[in-house]
Structures are given as C-alpha cells and as structure tokens.
Amino acid sequence: MITEKTYSSMMNNETIILLTYYYHQEDQYHRLLRHIIKAYCPAYLPWDIYLREPLEKIFSRVIVYDYLKRRAEMGLDAMNEEIISLVRKEKPKYVVWTSFYYDVRETTLEAIRRAGSKTLGFFFDDEWRFDSYSRFWAPYLDYCVTNSIEAVPKYKALSANVIDTVPNTGIAVDRDWSDPEYKYDVSFVGSINFVDRQRYMKTLRDNGIPVRLFGKGSGGYVTFDDMLSVFRTSRINLNFSKAGSYHQVRQIKGRVFQVCLAGGFMLTEYAPGLEKYFKIGKEIACFENEAELLQKTRYYLEHEAERQAIAKAGRERASREHTSSSMVSKVFREIEQDLLSGGNSHRAPKLKTPLITRTIYPSDYHFQWGRALLREHYPRERWRGSLKLSLAYSPLNLSAWYYLIAGPLPRFTHGALFAMHDSAVGLPGRILRRLRTIPYIGKAVRSLVKKLI
C-alpha cells in the first residue's frame, strides 16, 4: 500500500488540468447558455468545493478550464483545439474531465493521452446513464470514476480501469448540538417533477404533515450555502433515490452525504449500497414506500433525542470518511497505487453507438446548440456547424434538418417558423409524459425506451 510520504512526494511539483463546467445562477440569463440550461436542466454544482479545492490540497498546480463557457465564446472546434494546446503547453500529469454531454470530443481525449497525460473521467448517474453514455467514453480514458456500485462490474467487463467512490459531497459544517435551531419540521431540496416524488409529498400533505420545498418546480432555487442552512435547520430532511426520466432506478444521491455533513437528520428512500457508507437506523434513516415514509416521519418528529443522536452520528461518519477531500484523495491514491504496480496497460474496446442512441443523445445535444446559436443570431458558420454535426451523428434528426433549412430564410420569418416547429415536436413529448403517469403504461414506456437505447 502506498504510504502518505510516498503519495505526497509523487504529487510535488505536479500539474493537473480540470476540464469542467460552471453553472451559476446568472447563467440562466446568458445569451447562449440559457438555452442549454433550459434543454438539459443541469444542477448548479459547486465544482470549487467538490473538486478544485480538494485537488489543490494534493497537487502543486491546478488549472481549471470551463469548457462550456469556452464553447459558447469560441465554438466547439476551437474550444477542443484550445484544450489540446493547453495540455501540450502545461504538460500535466493528469487531466480530469467532469463529463456532461458531448463538448469534449473523443479525439481530444486521445490527443491528451498521446501528449503523455493520464485522463480521468468522472461519471455521474451511471445507474441509468452507463448504457446510453458512459460506456462509449471508457475507451478514451485511462481511468473512469463512478459513484454507482452497480456500474463497477460493467466497466470491468469492458476492461476499463474503474474506481468507485461516493458522489460529490462537500465539506463538513459545524453546528451547535446543545442548542439546535429549527426553522422547518420537514424539508426537501430538489425537483418534485418526478411522479413518485409528487405522490410521496401528497401522502404527507394528506396526513397533515407539510413539507417545505426548495428547488425546481417547488420553492425556487437556493444557493449551495443556503441549501446547507436548510439541512441544518430542518428536523427532517427528505431525499428520494429514483433517477432518470424513463428508467426510474434507485441511486445513491450526493444529497445524503451533504445533509449529514451539515449536521442534518437524513430520511432517505433506500438505494442499494447505502449500508456501505452509513449504518441505517444509527447514522441515517430509510424508507421503502409511502406508508413507511409517513410512519417514520411521524416517529422521528416525535422522538427528538433519537433523531438528534442519529444526525450527530451521521455527521461524525460523513466528516470522517465522506468529504470531497477524502473522496478525491482516495481516487488518486488508488490510481498512483495502480500505476506503481504496473497497471493501466489495458484499454476498453471502442464501441459502436446504436443509431437510436445517437439520435436521442449526441445528435439532439448538438442540435440544441445549433438551435440556440441560430435563435440568438450568431454567425452562420457557428449554427450551421452544430446542426451539421447533429446530422452527422444521426440523419434521422428531423429537427436539425428543419432548422438547417429554415436558417437561411429571412430573419423576420424565423419567429413563426420556430414556434411552428416547437409546437409540433412538443406534442409527442407531452403525450409521452402523460403516459408515464399512468400505472403499467408508464412502466411499459420506460422499459421500451431502456431497451431501445
């Protein structure tokens, strides 16, 4: 096992480049990025706390490159060329990519490896994104980092080097246990747009237990610091584990760790593997269904001392083992140990992406960029390039064809043409969302989509 002294000396004078994306609240007003935010609904993730600051504790130099902002400013091709030039100039030991969609290209990751740097990809939501996204990127990376326990054997089946770790968490927050301040009995931070979450909320509301909501579709966006304050000042913090629009699989959420780090009491829907990180009933509490959620919410509201003891134990465990710094340190310790032992010699084979997957994901993603560029009157070569790239992934993308044909027409016609398109393509989506709310039919729809992609 690598020692602390050896580990520290390995990182002395080493440079690392972090390829990431920063979404701040003000980006919802950004001329171009607001369209991408609306289409893909990303979270406002504090990457400084999650990765930059932990990396600065390990490496002597950390260079942060915001690839989404640079794509918006200079275009996809120029942005990727700039990344390659930066790597060749700085010669980092590692390049870390926090995967989002399809901005950093496969050829860019290959060029980084040829330049002598090791590439790491951080993947999220692998419980439902592995089959349609992550597995296609594994061949271009030296190491894949996932927080899905179920995905680990899938990566290994591809001969990919995989490291499993906790989701992005944060830092421990101090609190006064002798005089806890409570503003809310029960709270939830996150989107309630998922059908099962609305059902859970209705169960509590119908039984006289109001829930204070924060987030999309509920009480409105709150900053990261405000979110931690909510966790700390709520008697019970709820978390729901299902994720994915169609798949509805259960996953271990970073929210569980964040609540515990803030000293809050966590009542979460159970997800496989949670017991690896916390003692259930001692450090966090779990529920499996609506009846159990109602029963445990009532129980812990009435048992103050037991609830506080669990919250305190959860914070102690999380602050000792599950901070972002401990997660990042664990990842690089494993990598350095692997390199010392002569590992990292095998590569995952490149996979052919099915046409329907290309149509639903990369083709649609680049279409959204082309659509946004055209609507915001960017130069012709910018929006045409994104739309043509969309069609290169899938000639079946009728929306990309529509915008490519409509783009050269007089600008005064665009408003009506784009509205006509949005109305037409929105109808099937509304019907599909409605079908997903109907028992059995919704399950069949999710199963069909999963098989197709």
Q: What is the pLDDT of residues 317-369, one digit of tens each?
A: 999 999 999 999 999 999 999 998 887 666 788 999 999 999 999 999 999 99
Parallel/antiparallel/unpaired status of strands 249-250 and 242-243: antiparallel
The span from the CA of 448 to the CA of 368, in Å, is: 25
Residue 24: pLDDT band with limits 50, 70, 90:
confident
Per-residue model confidence (pLDDT) at position 188: 95
The helices-and-strands tally (H runs, E runs) of the chain is: 22, 13
Query: Region 31-38: what's the mean pLDDT?
Result: 88
Over range 269-293, report the average pLDDT. Answer: 95
Q: Report CA torsion sign: 64, 70, 72, 76.
A: negative
Ordered by where they begin, the domains of the chain are 4-168+324-340 (3.40.50.2300), 184-321 (3.40.50.2000), 355-452 (no CATH)
- How far separated are the first and last CA of the chain, in Å rounded? 41
- Helix, strand, or coil (residue 291): helix
Nearest to 189 by CA among 146, 149, 147, 232: 232
Average pLDDT, the chain: 88
Distances in whole angstroms, Cα of residue 214 to Cα of each of 192, 231, 254: 9, 11, 16
pLDDT at res. 441: 55
- Here the tokens at position 169 are 């968490």
pLDDT of residue 291: 96
Q: Which pLDDT tens digit goes with each residue over 150-192? A: 999 999 999 999 999 988 777 877 777 777 889 999 999 988 8
pTM for this entry? 0.87
Q: Which residues contact 300 (CB under 8 A, 6 or more apart)?
A: 235, 236, 265, 267, 285, 306, 307
Give the pLDDT band (50/70/90) at residue 194. Answer: confident
To the nearest whole percent, how much of the chain has pLDDT over 70?
A: 87
Q: Is the pLDDT of residue 295 over 60?
A: yes
pLDDT digits 0-9 by tens, 402-448 = 999 999 999 999 999 999 998 887 554 445 445 545 555 555 545 55
Task: Show Cβ contacts of residue 325 under 8 Å, excluding neighbours closer than 6 positions.
Answer: 53, 54, 57, 171
